[in-house]
Amino acid sequence: MSRYLKREKATNDKEQYDKLFEKRGIRKVVQYRSPKATYVSDEELAKIECFNVTWHYGLSYEKLASEFYGNPKHWWVIASFNKKPTESHIEMGETIRIPKSLADALRVVS
């Protein structure tokens, strides 16, 4: 299933882009809106047993998901549990939480 099926669309037809649109032979651009991030509540977080990992150079959500869950596609679980949508939101030396049980984590975030 496409990740775009449930996404809102927005039409960009602002006057400031008229010259660009004219150059490209179009009148507007339809774009997908960024999804709203939803995070696990602090109460739910407290119920899930987690590993603590200190963020350092070279780490990524994908690497951690691959190491702990055997699949880099579960990176978003780690992002959700830490309320940090991307790695750029994490400071070097910061401690992040990685749920020990992927099944438990998926029940909470899904």
Q: Give the tens place of pLDDT for each residue, 69-82.
A: 999 999 999 999 99
Residue 38: pLDDT above 80? Answer: no
CATH code for the domain of 94: 3.10.350
Q: How many domains does the chain have?
A: 2
* pLDDT over 70, % of the chain: 95
Q: Are residues 52 and 104 in the same domain?
A: yes
110 vs 91: which has the higher pLDDT: 91
Q: Are residues 31 and 64 in the same domain?
A: no
Q: Are residues 95 and 48 in the same domain?
A: yes
42 vs 53: which has the higher pLDDT: 53
Q: Are residues 46 and 90 in the same domain?
A: yes
Of 65, 59, 53, 54, nearest to 105 (Cα)? Answer: 65
Q: Are residues 26 and 56 in the same domain?
A: no
Cβ–Cβ under 8 Å, residues 95 and 101:
no
Q: What is d(CA 83, CA 34) in angstroms, rounded to the nearest whole number? A: 16
Q: Are residues 72 and 57 in the same domain?
A: yes
Domain around 24? 1-36
Residue 1: pLDDT above 70? Answer: no
Of 69, 59, 61, nearest to 104 (Cα)? Answer: 69
Rounded average pLDDT over 62-71: 97
Q: Are residues 56 and 103 in the same domain?
A: yes
Q: What is d(CA 61, CA 52) in angstroms, rounded to the nearest whole number? A: 14
Q: Are residues 95 and 66 in the same domain?
A: yes
Q: Which two tokens stand for residue 36?
A: 């709203």
Of 62, 3, 77, nearest to 33 (Cα)? Answer: 3
CA 63 to each of CA 69, 85, 101: distance values in angstroms, whole numbers, following the listed order: 10, 15, 17
* Total Cβ atoms within 10 A of residue 29: 14
At 3 the pLDDT is 66
